[in-house]
Amino acid sequence: MSILTFAIISIIKSVAVVFVLLTAVAYSVWLERKVSARIQNRWGPTKVGPFGLLQPLADGVKFIFKEDLTQPYVYKTLYIASPIIAVVFAITAISVIPFGNSITIGPITTQLQITDLNIGLLVVLGITSMGVYGVALAGWSSNSKYSLLGGLRASAQMISYEVSLGLSLIPVLILAGSFSLREIVNKQQHLHWNFFYLPFGTIAFFIYLISAYAETNRTPFDLPEAESELVAGYHTEYSAMKFAMFFMAEYSNMVTVACLSTLLFFGGWLGPVFGPPILQSLLPVMWFCLKVFFFMFLYVWVRWTLPRFRYDQLMAFGWKFLLPAAIVNLVLTALVVAWKPEIWLVH
Amino acid sequence: MHLILFLFFGGICVAGAVNLLLQRHPINSALSLVVVMASLAGEYLLLGAEFVAAIQVIVYAGAIMVLFIFTIMLLNAGEEERTGKSRVAIMLGVPGVAIASVLVAWVLLRHSGTGDVALFALPGVPHDIAQLLFHDFLLPFEITSILILIAIMGAVVLASKPESIAKPSAAEPAEQEARELVASGRER
């Protein structure tokens, strides 16, 4: 493959993936409003288009045309930069996520992924860990008490739960023996999903899920934007498109978490495949999307079912329960795999 | 291409470091340090050390610097006050820095070979690093982790409440008096 074809294919893939991601973000908001309404016995958006399906579009237009207020007391550079930081890192994280096997169009065969790296998982973790700056700096640069408290809570919470999140993923790495997300999925053929590795994979999955909910600031861990105490937390002083950017960052982080749960614990794109070649390359993508959709639905379901933690409960839970559990799980997995590798490792 | 990228990341790194010193607000300085860390990760990537680059971003730029910024936000640190230019600093500091950098550059240029190394010839992938850490240098690695554990325990001891750890009799009389003042909450 010449460098020109490579560049063209990469650009096409990047544009397509970002387009799909942003559409998914817009429609997750719709899903959230719809499902929350049904949970509360309401209808949710119904007026714009059938089932309110055009509501995200209307919301987007509204955000663009709203007046963009910049309060005189903010630290202007960082105030403008922080939503950009948040959304850029949230979207970049999708670049190493594989969503299917490979596809052949004419003479060109390409992987259904923007780029496959040896250290894919670490790249995702690194990029998402940089996303904290968006939230923390937004809180600080707004120069308002509510925002500052929200930013402080967000950074403390994200640092605390990042530790158990990272430790919960190591058992998966032990079982797969690679950092490459594509490799990790390929090790889970024939329903050997990491989730089914009782009890280690299952425990790791639940620790990962709980920490990821805290990382994305979603209920029951949404203290950085607890509206009953902090108005809107770190984005209190933001309006119009800047506010929308924080929203986009939150939802694309949710999509990333859903993708990672699917890839690491639920076999990624693996599923029954049949039919002509083109169907064989598109069916895996469908399985992948279905699994991701399930996790997005779970996000919404949890948010509208569980109440919010108190702050001390949040910290005690993270440090005194989740972290020791993750460490014990990691040590036990390592011991068992080292003791009888032929049972645990599929090669 | 490789050279262009090297100069690009190196330029950002140096610019960030200079900006760190020039900025007067601690948050801006801390953010410049984040830029330095991230561009160093870029340089590691150019060397083929992708694992080290990822760890650099996760640990330094993503965790430690967030703690720095968290502390600055929490204490609401104000702008730095510039003192008048110290004459000693100019007389001794500037030539000192110049001599030190010339020495470092001279030693590096003299003792490093200028031969080429193929990309990925050096250990950089996770497998190589694991081999080095857990096989070739297992004992130093484990001892380092024990050192870090001791440091953590020291930090916990220092940060915990003084009355439960240090007996008042061990403290100096003046310090003890100050501690009693603080404990009773009286003002002078």
* C-alpha to C-alpha distance for A304 and A39, rounded to whole angstroms: 7
Average pLDDT score over residue span B153-159: 89
User: What is the per-residue pLDDT across A310-335, written as a single tens digit (0 to 9) for each?
Assistant: 888 888 888 889 999 999 999 998 88
Query: How close does chain B come to A179, measured CA to CA in Å?
Result: 8
Query: How close does chain A come to B51, measured CA to CA in Å?
Result: 7
Amino acid letter at A35? V
Query: How close does chain B come to A136, measured CA to CA in Å?
Result: 8
Residue B61 pLDDT: 84
User: What is the per-residue pLDDT across A207-237, written as a single tens digit (0 to 9) for each?
Assistant: 999 999 888 888 788 877 777 777 777 888 8
User: What is the per-residue pLDDT across A241-259, written as a single tens digit (0 to 9) for each?
Assistant: 888 888 888 899 999 999 9
CB atoms near residue B50 (< 10 Å): 21
* Mean of all residue pLDDT scores within chain B: 79
Mutate to test the interface with B, among A96, A133, A319 (most CBs of B within 10 A): A133
Contacts of A159 in chain B (CB under 8 A): 63, 66-67, 70
Burial class, A334, CB count within 10 angstroms (exposed 0-12 / middle 13-18 / buried 19+): middle
- A194 versus A58: the higher-pLDDT residue is A58
Q: In the structure, what pLDDT confidence band is assigned to residue A1 with cuts at 50, 70 and 90?
A: low
Q: Do B63 and A139 touch (CB under 8 A)?
A: no
CA torsion sign for A123, A126, A127, A128 is positive
ipTM of the complex: 0.77
Residue B188 pLDDT: 43
% pLDDT > 70, chain B = 76
Contacts of B50 in chain A (CB under 8 A): 117-119
Q: What is the 3-state secondary structure (H, E, C) of chain B?
A: CHHHHHHHHHHHHHHHHHHHHHCCCHHHHHHHHHHHHHHHHHHHHHCCCHHHHHHHHHHHHHHHHHHHHHHHHHHCCCCCCCCCCCHHHHHHHHHHHHHHHHHHHHHHHHHCCCCCCCCCCCCCCHHHHHHHHHHHCHHHHHHHHHHHHHHHHHHHHHHCCHHHHCCHHHCCHHHHHHHHHHHHCCCC
Query: Alpha carbon of A190 to those of A235, A260, B179: distances in Å?
Result: 45, 19, 67
- As its CATH architecture, domain B1-78 has Up-down Bundle (1.20)
Q: List helix spans (H) across A266-340.
A: 277-303, 311-316, 323-339
* Mean of all residue pLDDT scores within chain A: 84
What's the CA angle centered on A334, arms A329 and A335, to 5 degrees? Answer: 100
User: Domains of chain B: which residue ranges?
Assistant: 1-78, 137-188
The model's pTM is: 0.82
Does residue A140 have a pLDDT over 50?
Answer: yes
Average pLDDT score over residue span B139-166: 84
Tokens found for residue A105: 């169009």
Instruction: Report which of A212, A189, A214, A335 is spatially closest to residue A270, judged by C-alpha positions.
Output: A189
Q: How far is residue B103 CA from its own chain's centroid?
A: 23
Instruction: Decide if A63 contacts A242 (C-beta within 8 A).
Output: no
CB pairs under 8 A between A and B: 70
Does residue B135 have a pLDDT over 80?
Answer: yes
* C-alpha to C-alpha distance for B181 and B178, rounded to whole angstroms: 5
Smallest Cβ–Cβ distance between B73 and the set A129, A130, A140 belongs to A140
Query: How close does chain A come to B70, measured CA to CA in Å?
Result: 7
* C-alpha to C-alpha distance for A154 and B65, rounded to whole angstroms: 15
User: What is the per-residue pLDDT across B165-175, written as a single tens digit (0 to 9) for each?
Assistant: 555 555 566 66
The B-side interface with A (CB below 8 A) comprises 27, 31, 34, 38, 50-51, 54-55, 57-58, 61-63, 66-67, 69-70, 73-74, 125-126
A 190-249 → B contacts, CB under 8 A: none
DSSP state of A307: P
Residue B149 pLDDT: 93
Instruction: Report which of B140, B168, B164, B23 is spatially closest to residue B82, judged by C-alpha positions.
Output: B23
Query: How close does chain B come to A148, measured CA to CA in Å?
Result: 8
User: What is the per-residue pLDDT across B12-23, written as a single tens digit (0 to 9) for each?
Assistant: 999 998 888 888
Number of H helices, E strands in chain A: 14, 2
Q: Do A179 and B61 touch (CB under 8 A)?
A: no
Burial class, A58, CB count within 10 angstroms (exposed 0-12 / middle 13-18 / buried 19+): middle
Q: In the structure, what pLDDT confidence band is assigned to residue B143 with cuts at 50, 70 and 90?
A: very high
Contacts of A148 in chain B (CB under 8 A): 73
